[in-house]
Structure 1
Amino acid sequence: LHKERIKKLKESIDSLTLTATPIPRTLHMSLVGVRDLSVINTPPEDRFPIATYICRRDDKVITEAIRRELDREGQIFFVHNRVRSIQKIARDLNRLFPKARIGIAHGQMAEEQLEDIMIDFLEKKYDILVCTTIIEIGLDIPNVNTIIIDDAHKFGLSQLYQLRGRVGRTDRRAYAYFLYPSYRSISDTAKKRLQAIKEFSELGSGFKLAMRDLEIRGAGNLLGKEQHGSVGEVGFNLYCRLLEEAIKELREEEEGKEKKEK
């Protein structure tokens, strides 16, 4: 929405949009030539790939992950995206780690309360932050290098990638755990998302992950804002092939005009 408003300020304006994981519709528009695309493949210096684990939810896995981080005096994000049961999750973690200082953060808190919690966590007054996806973007806390995502099968692929990116922002090895209740109980699409986040764990893999997301979800509706990938209903693939051919013809015409003018 903000991007569209900026474009309306001046018709001839050039805009550059930066994203770690372009949504399928935007990516597909780039692939067919509607938008130009540049890819930054070089990661920041002195960074390591985030060790990524896809695990069935188990107290032993959670305990080992948290203990490893606490032993090196680091901090942990524990993402649980249900406000209704987030207090219970905090109590369960307190049972496993009675001496750990545990904070809770979610979007239904008062703004001042949430801000105080986040500042306290930044100042290392908490060891573990049990939180919703409110931490998905905009946070850079160097001492947090383990993230555990509960019910990871319920998240979109770009969300999983953004959440994993909250750790590993220094030269310290980081760990990401994506937990699911039972492999048989999750959908085939969810399995593909989890397999993808595991497969593309190297630095600078956002574009590859976005391509896989496009493959899993479909391109969506180019003419609207829907991102559910209902391509078959509107004949989107045929439309894109025709669009690609039309763009090619227009570019050839423009190149021909430029040659004549010279």
Structure 2
Amino acid sequence: MINEPKIVEIKEIIDETPTIKTFKFDWDMETLGKPNPGEFVMVWNFKNEKPMSIAQINDNELAISVKNIGEFTSQLHELKIGDKIGVRGSYGNGFNNTFEGKKILAIGGGVGMAPIHSIASDLLKKGNDVDVVAAAVTKDELLYGDLLEKLGANVHYCTDDGSFGFRGFATDCTINLLEDSTYDYAFVCGPEIMMKGIFDILEDAKIPAQYSLERYMKCALGVCGQCCVDSEGWRICVEGPVFENDKIYKITEFGKYRRDASGVKF
């Protein structure tokens, strides 16, 4: 379904970190549908369109958290409360949010904490015991840990430079947690090289998990083939962005490379 862009007004902007802002806007769940955690929307700034993970799903309100990494995101960061954007969606295969009364591990790196916040907050409301690994390069870039703590999550912070919490990578922090704990299920989102390391660790520990992947997208409908991954030819916008560990095994490019807009590996 194309879901033509709905013009929405930005009702709140939160400066999360020096590079990340969260934008909140109204969303008619009854008319437009309620997204599931892990799904994404296409955001239109009236010039270009890019996919954005859904960070928060509230009563008739959505939020996206945007890291300033290029021309499009820089333009979004210049917007003010009351400005308008186009939003279509939601799209994609999201996280499994049906668990109740389980021990859950959620791992997010950088702005990858946005969809992790979405799934972790949902599962906390359903009575699950949720541990969160919130990772960033430095303290100022940590995202969503405080909100998840307020909801009852056990948040384990880690920073590459040791400026807050555990000193080291998300992989190192996860290894430490698994020395004393085990989990029924895990959810992971962040830089793909980080997710590859987490994948190996969780597989060794025999913990099933879901991973949210990112690729260059154009249509979000599975038509253009721009976001296909090698081996099975799965489209990140349709079969993904979330994949279970048994499918990750079949994506040969996972943690190794991806393709730019012209299809060149990098």
TM-score (norm 2): 0.35
Specify which structure has the bigger relative contact order, considering alpha-carbon pairs within 8 angstroms and separated by 6 or more residues. 1
- Say which structure is richer in helix: 1
Rg larger for: 1
TM-score (norm 1): 0.35
- Say which structure is richer in strand: 2
